[in-house]
Amino acid sequence: MNAAVFLDRDGTLNEDVGYISRPADLNLYPWAAEAVRAINKSGMKVIVVTNQSGVARGFYTETELRIVHDKMSAELGQAGATMDAVYYCPHHPRFVDSPYGIECLCRKPKPGLLTLAAREHSIDLEASFVIGDKWSDLELALNAGATPVLVLTGYGRETLARLEGGRFRPSIIASDLLGAVGDVLAQRSRMRHRR
């Protein structure tokens, strides 16, 4: 069985500039490739999981979305960093005129993208992590039995403010993806030594 680090896209790997329909609008954070390389080196899978309701909203097609992801993959690849897979949810229940306007099982925080990835890549979700900037990313981790990690880029600071005084606090909170990956790898080596 593999372990994975599931990465949110917007606000985690790249600047959250709203709905991205063109490759030119995808700006990876300057530390993204180094963070992904570090996960690659650890032997864990790197799997991007992203809600892309822009498809249901008619802002872009799945083909256009894939072109954006191809650019992301190529740019990371040039820096020696590999994504093992990208899973996206194109749905949104509110846009009923669209074939994507359904109540699906894959829109985060529902765990559908993770359970599919787990099947296709033989991943042990309990040994895996989800890194993201929104409450839905943290909730996704909890729903799937993985460890939630909050980054303070994107909507991260707003998410943290919402958590203050609440019932739940992720064990890892990091300023950005590179810091988060460092903390994840440290926690993983502690977990392995305990076994």
Residue 107: CB minimum distance to Zn ion, A = 4
Q: Cα(22)–Cα(94) distance, rounded to whole angstroms?
A: 24
Torsion angle of alpha carbons 45, 51, 54, 56, nearest 10°? Answer: 110
Beta-carbon neighbour count of residue 159 at 10 Å? Answer: 22
Does 134 help bind Zn ion (rule: CB under 5 A)? no
Q: Which residues contact 120 (CB under 8 A, 6 or more apart)?
A: 85
- Quick one: which H or E segment has residue 111? none
Does 107 help bind Zn ion (rule: CB under 5 A)? yes
Q: Which does 104 bind (CB under 5 to 8 A by kind): Zn ion, Mg ion, none?
A: Zn ion
Task: Give the binding range for Mg ion (CB under 5 A) out of 1-9, 65-73, 142-150, 174-182.
Answer: 1-9
Does 176 help bind Mg ion (rule: CB under 5 A)? no
Q: Which does 89 bind (CB under 5 to 8 A by kind): Mg ion, Zn ion, none?
A: Zn ion
CB-count exposure of residue 42 (10 Å: 0-12, 13-18, 19+)? middle
Does 133 help bind Mg ion (rule: CB under 5 A)? yes
Name the site residues for Mg ion (rule: CB under 5 A): 8, 10-11, 133, 154
Name the site residues for Zn ion (rule: CB under 5 A): 89, 91, 104, 106-107
Task: List residues with catalytic annotation.
Answer: 8, 10
